[in-house]
Amino acid sequence: MSKKDAPNYRALKKDDDPSKTCSTCKAWDPNHAKATKPDTGYCEMYDFVCSGPKTCDAWTAKTENEGIYRIADILTEDPDIFMG
Ligand code: SF4
């Protein structure tokens, strides 16, 4: 994977949701060793250094997925928890 695989990677356009940028994406790692410039981070989904204010069509919410993973963890740990 590389930058060219990130679908429609771009600077925010007028119709884009300004809250959905690389810097708020689940794939964003601002502490990666390759992300040395300000406002950059490593895109773990497409393996390139991306710009925090930009976005792409694969943007993924952090909290949404983390919530799903947490429910999966709870069910794995204690499958009877929702059975009353
Ligand atoms: S929006 Fe997310 S998936 Fe897309 S390039 Fe940025 S960090 Fe990667």
User: Of all residues in the chain, what percent are helix, strand and coil, respectively (each to 5)?
Assistant: 30, 20, 50
| Structure confidence at residue 30 (pLDDT) | 95
Answer whether 34's CB lies under 8 Å from 49's CB. yes
Q: In whole angstroms, what separates CA 59 from the centre of its chain?
A: 6
What CATH code would you report for 3-82?
Answer: 4.10.490
| Structure confidence at residue 62 (pLDDT) | 86
Residue nearest to atom 8 of ligand 1 (CA): 43
How many angstroms is it from 83 CA to the middle of ligand 1?
38
| Structure confidence at residue 63 (pLDDT) | 73
Q: In the numeric block, which tokens belong to residue 52?
A: 């925090």
Residue nearest to atom 4 of ligand 1 (CA): 56
Ligand 1: nearest atom to the Cα of 26: 2
- Per-residue pLDDT of the chain (84 residues), as tens digits, is 999 999 999 999 999 999 999 999 999 999 999 999 999 999 999 999 999 999 999 999 987 555 555 566 656 766 665 555
pTM, two decimals, is 0.76
Residues lining ligand 1, judged by CB closer than 6 Å? 6, 9, 22, 25, 27-28, 43, 45-46, 50, 55-56, 58-59
